[in-house]
Structure 1
Amino acid sequence: MCLAGETTTPLLITLETYEAQLNAQRLAAMGHESVVKQKRKTWMKSSASEQAAAVASELPSEVKSAIKKLHSLAAAGNEDAVFAAAEMELYGKYGTAVSVDAAYTHYAQLAELTGNATAHYMLGFLHGTGLGNVTVDNGRALLHTTLAAVQGHAAAKATLGFRASAGIGTSGACSDALEHYGSVARDAVRFYHEGPPLGRHLPGYRARLSDDRGGVFGVRTGALALHRATTRAAFGELLEAHQHSAAQGSLRAHVTLADLFYHGHRFAPRDFGAARSHVTAVIARLFTRAGGELKAASKAESDAAAQAAGFLGVMCLRGEGADADLGAALRWLTIGARLGHATAMNALGSMYRDGTGVAADPARAAALFKQAAEKRHAGGQVNYALHVMRAQPDEALGLLRLAAESGHVLAHYHLAAVYAAQPGESACRMAVASFRFVAEHADWLHSPLAAAEAAAARGSVETATVLYMQAAEMGYSVGQLNAALLLEHPSNALSSAGHSSLAHVYWTRAANQNVADARTKQGDAYYYGRGGVAQSYERAAAAYKLAARSEANGLAMWSLGWMYENGLGVSKDFHLAKRWYDQSLEANPEGRLAVHASLARLCLRYFWAWAKGEDVGEAPLFFAPRVEKERKEEEEEKQSDHDDDDDGAQPTGVPAGSLGESVFFIVFLLAAAWMFLPFR
């Protein structure tokens, strides 16, 4: 809905100008983390009325006046003012605090006045999550979200698709998920093709906030955890090293930097001008002014020449870093294709297919697409698959599957269309999975992730939480992970307002999407009975087992060891406890102190239980029990020996060597006591 109404335009100009200044100040303040923490600490100790007074006292007089006028217009029923007030209250804009209940009131007012799609979508979101004092009501959430979706609201359709596929408040019918995700995917692909030749660039990297500290539980906590935290400083050092190498004339460094700036990075936004400067530096070294290729002295120079020609051709074709130049694009793409650059082959093929800057030649286009596909270029695989789809459907499907494995959205889209036309639940599920991939990766029209990342970067915790929760409700795993993390943030007012149970919901949903460490967090919630769930050692043990086996999570393994040692949620078993402690150490060597302390305690408890005559299991603590098959084979072999000679037989059911192992264990403990206990 357009906000620039006749009476609201001056107000919004004033407020948006102040918002831009305020965000810049917040970003600058993030460099002084101690100041931010102290302000947060003081803020959280104050009451709601004190917080409101503090906000009002810090606002400039013209901003206060604009906000007051905005509320007056909203109360009078001005649609634009109602919408602006709701957005301000939900996202804490213009220096105000987040006020979910006030936002709900204004969204409800706007939905009643006009049936506005965004208003209905937000009402569905608030009823689905229960933020503020809004009642959780899946029925009303589904109703409002559907009313938004039928008006074409992309985020609402994505939310309905996820709810249908996950069975949240719905029957979980695959056909419903297919309808919603298919609609979002079709709109996304249409928007993709409306961009420059070869389609729009996909949205950038989706940051996981846990990466800033190396994972949810820190670095090296398991096989899937990072070995170091991702920091801007570390990236800056690496970038500086490459820039120094490029300044010294390294062709490889120039090509690497061109690729970095062309595609962008979390800590380096896409910069076509910088990418083009590095490409032209390589061109100047390896080509004549007329575009003739100089004799390459090495394979590295030949590869750099091919990449630079392909890069420059694509940028000339798309008008990136300079105005589009179809003549230059044709020249450089032809050179790149001749040098074996797959991207150049695919781009040149698209020019001949579409007749862009050259006479259309479908046969030559197909030949170029085939060459690119043979080099495993995803775009070439998709284009050649579409060319041969009718004549060679099996080959086309094989190429689409290969391209989909590389993450190409058009490959997923066309695969989904093929699966959707086939009968059966299995084909429907595959179609939904591919349409969902398109919806979540080609999401220019509905994703809140970019705004959420910007809010998190400037320290606006509550705003980032609301935006990540919207992404989570659409099914984004990164949204579920980040929302759960922020809801557990100690300075988050939404968390302190009694919404900690939402964190458990998002950890569970993220775990169901195989997000590393989320299953362990789910187990923690059941173990301690927090996050609004009842304590259940059995459920905690089940969650830890899944995390330990599927993720090799060291913390989950240690937790299982503790539970087996104490008989919590599982039968007490000292041997299994030791096994899980040992595996925890293998998965996470950084936790050796905790594991060694646990093993020492386990040894003492085992010896004490054994001395008291309690059941400590069949196997000695430091000796693994034999596999049942091996034990049966050994018993059969002994039985055969017994038939030949009764003198060497042992009693049935007594594992060989158990007495010697027990004696060894007792001697070991006595020796340890003699070495470490302070005898006087």
Structure 2
Amino acid sequence: MFSIYQFIFLVILIQNVHRPILSEEVPQTTIIPTLPITQSIEPSTTQEPPSLDSNSETLVENEIVDPEAEQDYQTALSKMNNTKGENDYRGAIFYLNKAALKGHDKAREELAVQFLFGDHTERNIQGAKEIFEDLSTRKGCPRSQFYLGFLYASGLGVKSNQGKALTYFTFAALGGDPMAQMALGYRYWASINVANSCEMALSYYKKVAQSVANKISTNSVGAVVNRIRLHDEEEKVSSQSQAMLDDDLVQYYQLLADRGDVQAQYGLGLLYYQGARGLSIQYDKALYYFTKAAEAGNNYAMAYLGKLYLEGGDHVKQDNLTAIKYFRQAAEKGNPIGQAGMGIVHFYGSGLERDYQKALKYFQLSADQGYVEGHFMLGIMFFYGHGVRKDFKSAVKFFNLAAQLGHVLGYYNLAQMHATGTGVIRSCSTAAELYKNVAERGTLSHMFSDAYNTYKENDFDKALIKYMFLAELGYEVAQSNVGYILDQLPISLFSKSDRYKRALINWNRAATQGYHVARLKLGDYYYYGKGTQVDYQQAATHYKYATEVSQNPQAMFNLAFMHENGLGLRKDIHLAKRFYDMASETSADANVPVALALFKLSLMFYFESIFAKYNFLSDLFRNSNGHFQTMWDIYLMSFLAGLITFIYFLRRRI
């Protein structure tokens, strides 16, 4: 049970949810001192009161921990964080179990997470629920409170209860859990079981975005997030650049690289540096392959070596002079990454005397070639007025260019400026959406790769749980993937009738975030009554939206059919033909079905004109008690079959 203090705090929170934030309360954007390589801009305000628990993994109550249990727990974490295969994971589970049996609460909590997802141990949702409940009520652990909220929101192991989910999310967010903050931010942003509140959404998303931004340097655009849509992959429309690399293909590229193929060396280095195409970030391997390619004269590899030496880490000792050497070699060859690197070392005075004018020159050269860090650092210079006149509008311009190219801190700084009205008119909706974008690029994004790999292994139940988890946090691609799995694939977690209801919810959430296929799916669900009652008018509304906003040819075809038959729309043959024509013009794939539909439409139009001309046919048609009207398609098919048979025999005689 919740303590009386938590209850009082929740009442106070609810009373203040809808208090409007006055424009006078919005501070001017200034800087909070950060690490030398990090450049994110923060509003100067009085410090917020500390949360109930600033670390979501820290249990609220102090406790005496058994030293042996703590050692087992740390051994488990070490094996999980430095795993080299399934044996290490099994070892981690073994030590988690040992620590949990000795009453170690953090080990119990981590074990419950493993039970929930079925990672490296048998899935046990009920067992996970019991542990989360115990830690939530007895210890007030924010992380466990969040996971309980997820179970109630998704209906896994419990009867779905959105009220309880919201309560657990709220307590977890107050305790500082970033996942709960994302879940609440999304709910207030999308009005899910709460009144819409942009300011509340902004507040929650900002906390998570700030944490993500603090872990990213200006020398990096952030890890690449592989978000593959299962529907698009099934339809073979996913971008080739997003496809995951399987082990055989990676080994093939490694073989080419070992044989001296410079492009393969650079390509592998980049994949390991960014963590792209399903590979995890491995800076030691990136260093190895970049070094090989740089020795062969590849200027991009030289520039990335400069980045690695400038940042330093476990993979290589930080060395400004070596970084400058590689940056200079790349810059002299006109490489935009090397130019940006030279700009950074001049900007910060890393191994060279600080010189804003030289930094400005290099950043401009880099930006002129469209390189993201060149744009971003120009934004920093205009924001602070380093080497140029301070100009917030120019800063917004360059941060926007960087954001368009995927720079996470570009998104974050734009969010800061829109949130405070610095250089732009204050816009809560724009700021909240930008903060959401940053928050969704945090460490949780790696679950997309895990979920996709599980899906490829045909473990659809486990993939569904992972995508449902991400969907509750507001990831649109995860929402559409949940809808796809529930709609198309064999799973055992939910009954068939329940599946369609849950799929409808997720299609609706994905459609609200702009995914056009989800909008089309909503139309289909209302048309066929999947997960809801048949509602032709609602179906037509979604098809119209998909037609007008995304020019979806299938939606156009469906609208034509509904106009042709008067289903949810006024029966109008001319409008039907118009939408059929639009579908054909929009997509070549629609040509054949449109041609058949138009042929049928022309026959119907011809028959109607015949009926209008000859009264006895009209009388016959009316006196058929609707039989002909309901069976017209069978009569038409019979007529066409007879006509084709007649033509066939006629041609044989000729």
Do they superpose with TM above 0.5?
yes
Matched, 1:332 2:332: no
Aligned-partner Cα distance in 2 for 1:248–1:11: 43
2:193 to 165, 169, 174: 169
1:101-116 to 2 correspondence within 5 Å? 101-116=126-141
Aligned-partner Cα distance in 2 for 1:316–1:329: 5
* Aligned position for 2:15: none
State the Cα distance separating 1:271 from its structure 2 match: 5.4
**Matched-pair contact (CA < 8 Å) for 1:157–1:181:** yes
**Matched-pair contact (CA < 8 Å) for 1:243–1:257:** no
Q: Rate the CA distance shift 1:386–1:226 in 2: closer, same or farther, 3 A.
A: closer
Aligned residue type for 1:128: A
**Matched-pair contact (CA < 8 Å) for 1:157–1:180:** yes
Identical-pair percentage:
27
**Matched-pair contact (CA < 8 Å) for 1:164–1:173:** yes
* Aligned position for 2:342: 348
* Aligned position for 1:311: 304
Aligned residue type for 1:484: G
The C-alpha deviation readout for 1:578-600, integer Å capped at 9, x for no partner, is 33333333444345444343333
State the Cα distance separating 1:274 from its structure 2 match: 5.7
Q: Rate the CA distance shift 1:676–1:136 in 2: closer, same or farther, 3 A.
A: farther
Matched, 1:87 2:86: no
Q: Secondary structure at the match of 1:475?
A: coil
**Matched-pair contact (CA < 8 Å) for 1:564–1:573:** yes
**Matched-pair contact (CA < 8 Å) for 2:223–2:275:** no
* Aligned position for 2:500: 500
State the Cα distance separating 1:476 from its structure 2 match: 0.9
Matched, 1:118 2:143: yes
Worse-matched range after superposition: 199-208 or 432-441 = 199-208
* Aligned position for 1:135: 160
State the Cα distance separating 1:487 from its structure 2 match: 2.2
State the Cα distance separating 1:573 from its structure 2 match: 1.9
1:660-679 to 2 correspondence within 5 Å? none
* Aligned position for 1:634: none
Aligned-partner Cα distance in 2 for 1:15–1:338: 45
* Aligned position for 1:585: 584
Q: Rate the CA distance shift 1:282–1:676 in 2: closer, same or farther, 3 A.
A: farther
* Aligned position for 1:564: 563
**Matched-pair contact (CA < 8 Å) for 1:70–1:85:** no
* Aligned position for 2:379: 385
State the Cα distance separating 1:439 from its structure 2 match: 0.9
Q: Secondary structure at the match of 1:356?
A: coil
* Aligned position for 2:509: 509
Matched, 1:413 2:403: no
Q: Secondary structure at the match of 1:357?
A: coil
Aligned residue type for 1:356: S
Matched, 1:263 2:283: no
Q: Secondary structure at the match of 2:409?
A: helix
**Matched-pair contact (CA < 8 Å) for 1:316–1:323:** yes
**Matched-pair contact (CA < 8 Å) for 1:203–1:444:** no
* Aligned position for 2:228: 207
Aligned-partner Cα distance in 1 for 2:457–2:488: 15
Worse-matched range after superposition: 478-487 or 582-591 = 582-591
Matched, 1:427 2:440: no
State the Cα distance separating 1:90 from its structure 2 match: 2.2
Matched, 1:480 2:506: no
1:210-225 to 2 correspondence within 5 Å? 210-213=231-234, 218-219=235-236, 225=237
Aligned-partner Cα distance in 2 for 1:238–1:586: 41
Q: Normalising by structure 1, what TM-score?
A: 0.70
Q: Rate the CA distance shift 1:417–1:198 in 2: closer, same or farther, 3 A.
A: same
Matched, 1:529 2:529: yes
Q: Rate the CA distance shift 1:571–1:457 in 2: closer, same or farther, 3 A.
A: same
Q: Rate the CA distance shift 1:386–1:231 in 2: closer, same or farther, 3 A.
A: closer
Gaps of 5+ in 1: 26-58, 220-224, 287-303, 615-668
The C-alpha deviation readout for 1:344-379, integer Å capped at 9, x for no partner, is 122222223333333434443343333333433222
Q: Rate the CA distance shift 1:387–1:678 in 2: closer, same or farther, 3 A.
A: closer
Q: Rate the CA distance shift 1:118–1:262 in 2: closer, same or farther, 3 A.
A: closer
Q: Secondary structure at the match of 2:452?
A: helix
**Matched-pair contact (CA < 8 Å) for 2:72–2:95:** no
Matched, 1:373 2:367: yes
Aligned-partner Cα distance in 2 for 1:168–1:674: 56
Aligned-partner Cα distance in 2 for 1:16–1:344: 36
Aligned-partner Cα distance in 1 for 2:289–2:337: 18
Aligned residue type for 2:525: A
Aligned-partner Cα distance in 2 for 1:253–1:229: 16
1:152 to 140, 151, 176: 176
State the Cα distance separating 1:678 from its structure 2 match: 6.8
Q: Secondary structure at the match of 2:612?
A: coil
Aligned-partner Cα distance in 2 for 1:155–1:403: 27
- How many equivalent pairs are there? 553
Worse-matched range after superposition: 198-207 or 542-551 = 198-207
**Matched-pair contact (CA < 8 Å) for 1:158–1:474:** yes
Worse-matched range after superposition: 248-257 or 78-87 = 248-257
**Matched-pair contact (CA < 8 Å) for 1:558–1:584:** yes
State the Cα distance separating 1:144 from its structure 2 match: 1.2
The C-alpha deviation readout for 1:117-168, integer Å capped at 9, x for no partner, is 1111122222323334323233x32221111111111111111111111111
**Matched-pair contact (CA < 8 Å) for 1:488–1:495:** no
**Matched-pair contact (CA < 8 Å) for 1:448–1:470:** no
**Matched-pair contact (CA < 8 Å) for 1:384–1:396:** yes
Q: Secondary structure at the match of 2:490?
A: coil
Q: Rate the CA distance shift 1:490–1:263 in 2: closer, same or farther, 3 A.
A: closer
Aligned-partner Cα distance in 2 for 1:581–1:525: 21
**Matched-pair contact (CA < 8 Å) for 2:508–2:522:** yes
* Aligned position for 1:440: 440
Aligned-partner Cα distance in 2 for 1:250–1:495: 50
State the Cα distance separating 1:88 from its structure 2 match: 4.4
Aligned-partner Cα distance in 1 for 2:514–2:433: 15
Matched, 1:186 2:185: no
The C-alpha deviation readout for 1:399-448, integer Å capped at 9, x for no partner, is 1222222221212211211121139996111211221121112x126864
Q: Secondary structure at the match of 1:202?
A: coil
Aligned-partner Cα distance in 1 for 2:242–2:209: 32
**Matched-pair contact (CA < 8 Å) for 1:207–1:266:** no
Aligned-partner Cα distance in 2 for 1:409–1:229: 20
State the Cα distance separating 1:94 from its structure 2 match: 5.0
Aligned-residue Cα RMSD (Å) equals 4.4
Aligned-partner Cα distance in 1 for 2:381–2:94: 61
**Matched-pair contact (CA < 8 Å) for 1:489–1:495:** no
2:122 to 85, 96, 119: 96
**Matched-pair contact (CA < 8 Å) for 1:343–1:372:** yes
Q: Rate the CA distance shift 1:248–1:577 in 2: closer, same or farther, 3 A.
A: farther
Q: Rate the CA distance shift 1:14–1:165 in 2: closer, same or farther, 3 A.
A: closer
**Matched-pair contact (CA < 8 Å) for 2:547–2:556:** yes
Aligned residue type for 2:210: R
**Matched-pair contact (CA < 8 Å) for 1:316–1:324:** yes
Q: Rate the CA distance shift 1:279–1:10 in 2: closer, same or farther, 3 A.
A: closer
Aligned-partner Cα distance in 2 for 1:229–1:281: 24
* Aligned position for 1:290: none
* Aligned position for 1:608: 607
Q: Secondary structure at the match of 1:364?
A: helix
Aligned-partner Cα distance in 1 for 2:114–2:187: 28
